[in-house]
Structure 1
Amino acid sequence: MGPQKFIAANTTEALKLVRQQVGGDAMVLSTRDTPQGVEIVAISPEALSSLSQRKEGASSDFSAPTITTSISTTSNSVFSPDTSNTAAGFPAPAAVPASAADNPTAPQVEKLLAEFSAVKQLLQTHLSARAWDDIQAQSTDKAEALRILLNAGFSPQLCGELADELAALPADPNTRLIDRLQSLLEPKIETLDPLSVFDPGGIFAFIGPTGVGKTTAIAKIAARCVLRYGRDQLALLTTDTFRIGAQEQLKVYAKIIGVPVVTLRDSDDLTTKLNSMKDRRVILLDTAGVSQRDTQMLEQAKLLLEGAPSLKRILVMSSTTDLRTQEDVILMHQMATQNEAQKALIGAIITKTDEAAQIGPVVDCLIRHKLPLMFLANGQRVPEDLSQANTAYLSHRALHPRSISGRMEIPDEQISMHLMDQLNDWIKNS
């Protein structure tokens, strides 16, 4: 099937028809106003590839069936993209050549595909901008909620979900909008009682990228375990043989609280050491901080899997890390092992909340991945700067970024660009 013509009362309805009939990957060839409404001509990537392989001399006239909504038309005109009157001022690319080349990867076809992609991107940008204008006109609360959440560092996905939930609630003029958002955000943050984790005992590996504060967090937790269970019930292990001074740092903390530190070489060594520590109730394992995309991370995951199949993994996350990197870290660590029982991280620790201008990104990742939070670390003091997860504080802090300047806020005219996918999804589902 060749290009198809769609006519509807407005651009949004016409685009919905394109998605329904041609698919989400459809390439828009032209958009123009007609007496019957807005006309969009689109083609699927498969149809374009088929057309590009036609032999030289094949007809270049393609009949485009017309599909309408609430408009009756019998038009079945020959496809010819109109470049004189395109919607929103977007120029339509030239008509598809009947015989660009026998090879579907010919330069002409690649250029044409690039043009189609550019036009599609421009159209999506235009539609998202119109959707954002509609939201501001129809629901000031929803628009303001999106603005607050986006500037707080939340992902477009969670911004959209919270804005939809807010819009579905009855209006409450006596409660500030940001307080209503906090009441929606707070119950989404899952927490885990540390006592329920450590009281039964076991082996706990603290994992995460370099520099997030794993060693300091372990020292804080170790000090509390000594107070609760006694020195003879705790042991510290480390696989960190990469960083200069890493073991010395942990040994200093261990000496202060009177607990031994054992360095591990490989999985066999881990198994041997654990067998000699069966009388210890809690064993905390400090792993080497390596990039989530480093092969050493996979090697370390293998060491833990083979040496201690029953250990529990706790992810340490720095609140100073950006959203995309947080997402990357969680996904890579979840995929680092083939053992289903070890794939699930039992919980997380957020560090450096005192340093972060905004903690929205890390809170966003915890919510979307349903990762329970155990502790918040907000300083270097051992063991003082460690507290159990407090959802009221977290949600309030996430919605109130700290900034000494307003220069980092997203300008209102750029919000639709940041929320493009979410806005286009609303158009599709409306």
Structure 2
Amino acid sequence: MNVKKFTAATSRDALRKVREALGPDAVILSNRPVDGVVEILALDNDDVASLSAPAVEEPQPAAFGAFDNDFDPEPTFSRSAFAAAARDPQPRQQPAPRAAAPAPQAMDPFAGQPDVARPYVERRAAPQAEPEVPPTYVNRRAPAQEPGIDMAAMTQMMSAAIAQAKESAASEMSGMMNEIRAMRGLMETQLAELSWNATAQREPQKAAVLREMLAAGFSATLARYLIEKMPATKDAADALRWIKTVLARNLTTIANEDDLLNKGGVFALVGPTGVGKTTTTAKLAARCVMRHGPDKLALITTDAYRIGGHEQLRIYGKILGVMVHSVKDEADLRIALKELKNKHTVLIDTIGMSQRDQMVTEQVAMLSDSGADVKRLLCLNATSTNETLNEVVRAYQGTGLAGCIMTKLDEAASIGNVLDVVIRQKLNLHYISNGQRVPEDLHLADRAMLIDRAFRNNRNAAAQFGDADLPLMMAAAGSMSNADRMREVTLG
């Protein structure tokens, strides 16, 4: 048994030395720290196998008659030698025994005799030849190639696992937040319904005013805010009168058109398709010509896409005696405005496009970067819904609007929707247009008249809102997000 000792600073280094010397099948006998190092005693696997295998006696040549001189001098073998020869017919290659000092024949009476003839005690005490040290595992065979670790693949797998875990966590968190928002909205809706039911029972005049405002076209958000701020009163007529006063106070209009027409400048009429920009431009041009003459006015059209779009304005310009200029892009507009800088008033008729079109932003940028102070007037269609008008204002507002013009007033069944947007967005209402005649159907905005008209002839519309519908509408108005809530209005 050939036990070897290996020492190293760490167990890993010691085990590596064992593997290099004895192979991966080596048997570790002990592993302990000694004087600051790790000591490992190991044994080769082949030595362990030889220890576990049974010992086989080797045949020895018999000696000639040591006991009887008349004995036939034939070679004799022991019974165990015959058994060993039967098991292993091929003789094993034995290492050459170490040479020993010759002893005298007379002192060993059993010399030359088989081992069976030698006494048992003497056989056990006989010295054994030292076995030859077998070669190390490294010398016997090439070391096995250790499998390498692909660090790039492992890093990629770890990154993919981390990304998948993050995505799963984000998905679960998003679902949880959606459930919380849904629960919050449901609770707010139920609480708002209970609160409004209690308010309607305690102050029935508020329910009557709410019906009037909804029938006029005002939004539930504005109606809820004003009703909550309304002073206590027993009379529904007084409550409605207070509502009209507050709405008129918060509707911004121009006192007269002298500041607009006498001061002059560059005005661009913008808005969606079909709101009446070209007709309104012609009406404003006629007012300017009647006050300052055709030489002080210039018309510009950017409508090069619609078939006959610029021809309609050219016809109006020919009737008024005003030159109409057509531009295609920002460079042409910059050149035209530079040539017309001596004009008192310049009116620009822009291309009509949907408020959801990406070109709206390009149009606002073109007017802002034209090199002149272009004031944009937004045309609002009175027949559009409250949600549509809010989208139009958000799309065309850009860096700010100089004002707005209410068009198609003669076609609208109710105008509370457009007044609601003007009040909530804090727009300056310049004119109202109620027909196609040029320039008769263009008037200055009278806020008292507009508020009174919004609440006029809406009795049939007010009847369609039942008592069961009002709590739901108030709850929906109360659960709107902060981005959709109305701006602060002036009450006093």
Aligned to 1:268: 331
Q: Does 1:301 align with 2:357?
A: no
Question: What CA deviation, in whole Å up to 9, does each residue of 1:89-119 have, x standing for no partner?
Answer: xxxxxxxxxxxx9943567x77766665554
State whether residues 316 and 348 of structure 1, in contact with CA within 8 Å, keep that contact through their aligned partners in structure 2.
Answer: yes
Where in structure 2 are the equivalents of 1:388-427 lying within 5 Å? Answer: 388-400=444-456, 406=461, 409-423=464-478
Alpha-carbon offset, residue 173 of structure 1: 4.3
1:373 to 392, 410, 429: 429
Size of the aligned set, in residue pairs, is 314
State whether residues 141 and 167 of structure 1, in contact with CA within 8 Å, keep that contact through their aligned partners in structure 2.
Answer: no
What's the secondary structure of 1:199's corresponding residue?
A: helix
Aligned to 2:245: 183
Aligned to 2:260: 197
| Structure 2 CA distance for aligned equivalents of residues 384 and 238 of structure 1 | 22
Change (3 A) 1:106 1:333: closer
Question: What CA deviation, in whole Å up to 9, does each residue of 1:49-92 have, x standing for no partner?
Answer: xxxxxxxxxxxxxxxxxxxxxxxxxxxxxxxxxxxxxxxxxxxx
| Structure 2 CA distance for aligned equivalents of residues 284 and 112 of structure 1 | 54
Alpha-carbon offset, residue 344 of structure 1: 2.1
Alpha-carbon offset, residue 126 of structure 1: 2.0
Alpha-carbon offset, residue 409 of structure 1: 3.3
Alpha-carbon offset, residue 232 of structure 1: 0.5
Alpha-carbon offset, residue 293 of structure 1: 1.9
Q: CA RMSD in A?
A: 2.7
State whether residues 357 and 401 of structure 1, in contact with CA within 8 Å, keep that contact through their aligned partners in structure 2.
Answer: no
Question: What CA deviation, in whole Å up to 9, does each residue of 1:356-396 have, x standing for no partner?
Answer: 11111111111111111110100111111111010111111
Where in structure 2 are the equivalents of 1:144-155 lying within 5 Å? Answer: 144-155=208-219
Q: Does 1:363 align with 2:386?
A: no
1:235 to 298, 307, 314: 298
Q: Does 1:334 align with 2:397?
A: yes
What's the secondary structure of 2:431's corresponding residue?
A: strand
Shifted more, 154-163 versus 212-221: the winner is 154-163
Shifted more, 118-127 versus 152-161: the winner is 118-127
What's the secondary structure of 1:206's corresponding residue?
A: strand
AA at the equivalent of 1:232: D
State whether residues 212 and 458 of structure 2, in contact with CA within 8 Å, keep that contact through their aligned partners in structure 1.
Answer: no
State whether residues 221 and 478 of structure 2, in contact with CA within 8 Å, keep that contact through their aligned partners in structure 1.
Answer: no
What's the secondary structure of 2:439's corresponding residue?
A: coil
| Structure 2 CA distance for aligned equivalents of residues 132 and 112 of structure 1 | 30
State whether residues 215 and 458 of structure 2, in contact with CA within 8 Å, keep that contact through their aligned partners in structure 1.
Answer: no
What's the secondary structure of 1:298's corresponding residue?
A: helix
Q: Does 1:214 align with 2:214?
A: no
| Structure 2 CA distance for aligned equivalents of residues 156 and 199 of structure 1 | 40
Change (3 A) 1:172 1:309: farther
Question: What CA deviation, in whole Å up to 9, does each residue of 1:397-419 have, x standing for no partner?
Answer: 2223658x649933331222222
Report the TM-score, using the length of structure 1 for normalisation.
0.67
State whether residues 358 and 401 of structure 1, in contact with CA within 8 Å, keep that contact through their aligned partners in structure 2.
Answer: no
Question: What CA deviation, in whole Å up to 9, does each residue of 1:151-203 have, x standing for no partner?
Answer: 322223321232134235xx374955433322221111111233212311211
What's the secondary structure of 2:169's corresponding residue?
A: coil
AA at the equivalent of 2:211: R
State whether residues 142 and 167 of structure 1, in contact with CA within 8 Å, keep that contact through their aligned partners in structure 2.
Answer: no
| Structure 1 CA distance for aligned equivalents of residues 222 and 411 of structure 2 | 24
| Structure 1 CA distance for aligned equivalents of residues 200 and 186 of structure 2 | 21
What's the secondary structure of 2:227's corresponding residue?
A: helix
Shifted more, 250-259 versus 209-218: the winner is 250-259
AA at the equivalent of 1:153: G
| Structure 2 CA distance for aligned equivalents of residues 349 and 102 of structure 1 | 50
| Structure 2 CA distance for aligned equivalents of residues 365 and 264 of structure 1 | 32
Aligned to 2:485: none
AA at the equivalent of 2:325: V
Shifted more, 297-306 versus 356-365: the winner is 297-306
| Structure 2 CA distance for aligned equivalents of residues 114 and 202 of structure 1 | 51
Change (3 A) 1:270 1:408: farther
AA at the equivalent of 2:248: E
State whether residues 375 and 388 of structure 1, in contact with CA within 8 Å, keep that contact through their aligned partners in structure 2.
Answer: yes
Aligned to 1:133: 197
2:187 to 103, 119, 123: 123
| Structure 1 CA distance for aligned equivalents of residues 423 and 456 of structure 2 | 18
State whether residues 205 and 287 of structure 1, in contact with CA within 8 Å, keep that contact through their aligned partners in structure 2.
Answer: yes
| Structure 2 CA distance for aligned equivalents of residues 146 and 316 of structure 1 | 29
Q: Does 1:157 align with 2:221?
A: yes
Change (3 A) 1:383 1:106: closer
Alpha-carbon offset, residue 423 of structure 1: 4.5
Change (3 A) 1:102 1:262: closer
Alpha-carbon offset, residue 283 of structure 1: 0.4
| Structure 1 CA distance for aligned equivalents of residues 285 and 185 of structure 2 | 53
Task: Report % sequence identity.
Answer: 37
2:355 to 277, 292, 295: 292
Aligned to 1:346: 402
What's the secondary structure of 1:272's corresponding residue?
A: helix
Gaps of 5+ in 2: 1-165, 481-492
